[in-house]
Structure 1
């Protein structure tokens, strides 16, 4: 680039004036000029950088305007040249050189289109460095002058959110991929399914009847488990999560990282129950001692040994609980990413959706807030490539129907749950409703009620109301209420298929 010719003077003066008291933010005026020049002489150059480069990535205000206007012209199907651009930029004196002259020189001294992407990446990387400097300054200033209600933990999460916002935008790896690459991924998935227990493409739930319908929990899926209070949503999610963590096996890859072979590492956001309540439930499920007895301490010596044995076994499993109440979707996303980075993550559970808050102001519509939450969870599932299981309450309209089996329309008022979810599962226990309808003892209705109770006792229906890559239908499971335990239902006419 010709530094002596004066054409750089208006820009170079602004950005290269060195003073011992401060450091100039990283930038590369020559790369910006070379890139803009290449676009002006051949608009095809724009396509090489358009998916990751934005006007704000340029350090010079004039370069931002040139790139922004050129982008708009090219996207509108017009030609961006020094002649078409000067109309929109006006005419200012840049210290002995006019804008039309500057554009003409940019085009005249442009390098070949071949280097465009490299220049674009240089401009983008320097913009990221400048953003990192700003975040660093914000962290320092925020720590010095923090408001009373802004705790250090809040500040850490805010800084993490900003860092991830930078990390997630403008990745070079986006865009189209060859179909042959997608085929390779699909065959790899089939090969892994062939090696895995039960031959599933996803992670096994530990309940073979459910796995048969769902093929396990698929990576990148948002799976909603919905039901009215008392149906056992949390119990089902806990059972599945525990089964996955218990089955965890890994191997060490050549690069030293661990790869999950079976089961998985589980993260559990328990927004409703505390971690010790959740642990009590899980110990009851494992030891076969009712949770109400554990809480009261009303146990025999034999039961205590069973609890101790169950607890010892549970200490070894990769199961992580976060029981902070009322967190926002942004905080949840930051913490899930942190867990994946620090410990690994193969499955995430959120109990439950309606207890999360959105990032928008409090006055906003609750339906919009839930839309933001479900969209955020689906995006998180794709980003981390793990199944995200989110629990959801259902509307009261279920209770007013004679047949209280939930259906997809019961989710409708919750915004985009049905739309964003890959799988929607309803938990329904007829026994729960029937128990509340007990007629007077000794009457004829009582005998009918009794036989009905025997038919539904200890049974639960898991209704798959939506599944993007599999059938819908109902799976019957056994449910032991006092241990909050779901398991395969032993059917008289159905023998196991495995010999």
Structure 2
């Protein structure tokens, strides 16, 4: 820093900084301690370029936080032995700072400038760090891991700009709650969150809420992947961009969807979505056994959905840190309104040191919940159920059936189970010789055919209970179930 008095031309060499802005901000703080409450959420001591200014700000902040006066006179006793301050002329420098004070209303703008310049310096340092690590040939430091670490560091640096954190008044919180309720009231479906496209499920959940972790669990062949792809497709298909109530540009209906398919390939997942859209049996798509009309519908569906904002990542065994980095990148590049993970037991913990499977799953679920909160989106993670379901007479799943259930149940905001009794009843088919048993079985099958249940076992925001859906296995499609009393009503359940 220049040795001249306050107001001298600032040193413009070196990293981005503004000595004058720092001096003006400190002067305002020493003249009027109320400035601290205005700038404390924006700037910290470490954001000052000049180390002496950082120490002055820290000393003033410490006194103000203790309800003590911070002025040139009171700070003199704490800083008169400071070597850096002595080089600038000693305690009289504090008085000169006060003489250069800006108006109270301008202090936050100066704080913002000091902060922005600090972020630019951090960006430069981060870039230099990336270059230095890339140039080092270290066998334990894979380039892919360096990319993930760099993306995470960049995202965290970008998130530092959100200064409206910490405590907020009840008025502010109540206003936000009213805005959410008003948005739900103005929507036809009365939803506060993203619509799943399934009316009865929306009725129970109120849609998919931002920052929520939703677990969708089921035994193999229950259709949990099908339900997840159906919901993801419904959200992406309904996407409409515009100006949101808060004035920002984004999704005003539907949303951009990210789908981590850790089990199936992207091509298989796309085939499922197209099977539902074109109403062509998925097994025949796989075999290529299609009529000319079915092939035409399949191609038309593919053309109609090519602009659908549904992004699929089919990289197997992703560490949770990489999954988070890719979600951040997708949000930065294209926007992101909902994230699906199929399924969580196939993800890997960030650390390679294994402390048992329960601990690994706990790290994964905590990571998924952190993604939901950090990106402010709903995260839907699929989960397997333990085999103890099969040993019970009533095969309806319960919370205790979740594999490594403790952490999953604790971290999730919503836990849902997909259950199709038809699947189990089909395997109870009696022999052809027992006519009476066969008739009973056939009657039961007729009542269960094409029906599925989504059992909500936990929900922080609303009721638990079961939702009945229609299931068309050949199209891997869940849809709204038309009840008997609705059969003749003119209701559009699309």
Per the normalisation by structure 1, the TM-score is 0.79
DSSP 3-state at the match of 2:269: helix
Alignment coverage as a number of residue pairs? 485
DSSP 3-state at the match of 1:48: helix
1:307 aligns with 2:298: yes
Distance 1:412 1:326, change over 3 A: closer
Aligned to 2:331: 340
Report how far residue 203 of structure 1 moved: 2.9
Q: Tell me if structure 2 keeps the 8 A contact 1:368–1:415.
A: no
Report how far residue 359 of structure 1 moved: 3.1
DSSP 3-state at the match of 1:136: helix
Aligned equivalents of 1:156, 1:104: Cα separation in 2: 49
Aligned to 1:59: 49
**Within 5 A, what are the aligned runs for 1:339-488?**
339-364=330-355, 366-411=357-402, 413-438=404-429, 440-443=431-434, 448-488=440-480
Report how far residue 258 of structure 1 moved: 6.0
DSSP 3-state at the match of 1:317: coil
Aligned equivalents of 1:202, 1:93: Cα separation in 2: 57
Aligned equivalents of 1:486, 1:189: Cα separation in 2: 28
Q: Residues 87-125 of structure 1: CA distance to partner in whole angstroms, max 9, x if unpaired?
A: 998956559669xx9567536743479365445434322
Distance 1:91 1:242, change over 3 A: same
1:489 aligns with 2:445: no
Aligned equivalents of 1:224, 1:356: Cα separation in 2: 14
Distance 1:80 1:407, change over 3 A: farther
DSSP 3-state at the match of 2:286: helix
Q: Tell me if structure 2 keeps the 8 A contact 1:197–1:262.
A: no
1:295 aligns with 2:286: yes
**Within 5 A, what are the aligned runs for 1:57-456?**
57-61=47-51, 64=54, 93=83, 102=90, 105-106=93-94, 109-110=97-98, 111=101, 114=104, 117-145=108-136, 147=138, 154-169=145-160, 171-175=162-166, 189-190=180-181, 192-193=183-184, 196-251=187-242, 259-364=250-355, 366-411=357-402, 413-438=404-429, 440-443=431-434, 448-456=440-448
Q: Tell me if structure 2 keeps the 8 A contact 1:39–1:46.
A: yes
DSSP 3-state at the match of 2:39: coil
Q: Tell me if structure 2 keeps the 8 A contact 1:196–1:262.
A: no
DSSP 3-state at the match of 2:471: strand
Bigger shift: residues 128-137 or 178-187? 178-187
Report how far residue 425 of structure 1 moved: 1.6
Q: RMSD value over aligned CA atoms?
A: 4.2
Structure 1 unaligned runs (5+)? Answer: none
Aligned equivalents of 1:43, 1:364: Cα separation in 2: 51
Q: Tell me if structure 1 keeps the 8 A contact 2:384–2:403.
A: no
Distance 1:190 1:327, change over 3 A: same
Bigger shift: residues 454-463 or 79-88? 79-88
Distance 1:406 1:113, change over 3 A: farther
Structure 2 unaligned runs (5+)? Answer: none
Aligned equivalents of 2:248, 2:42: Cα separation in 1: 29
Aligned to 1:48: 38
Aligned equivalents of 1:360, 1:84: Cα separation in 2: 49
Distance 1:374 1:69, change over 3 A: farther
Distance 1:51 1:371, change over 3 A: farther
Distance 1:258 1:104, change over 3 A: closer
Q: Tell me if structure 2 keeps the 8 A contact 1:370–1:414.
A: no
Aligned equivalents of 1:408, 1:139: Cα separation in 2: 45
Per the normalisation by structure 2, the TM-score is 0.80
Report how far residue 295 of structure 1 moved: 1.7
Distance 1:497 1:302, change over 3 A: closer
Q: Tell me if structure 2 keeps the 8 A contact 1:196–1:261.
A: no
Q: Tell me if structure 2 keeps the 8 A contact 1:33–1:106.
A: no
Distance 1:125 1:493, change over 3 A: same
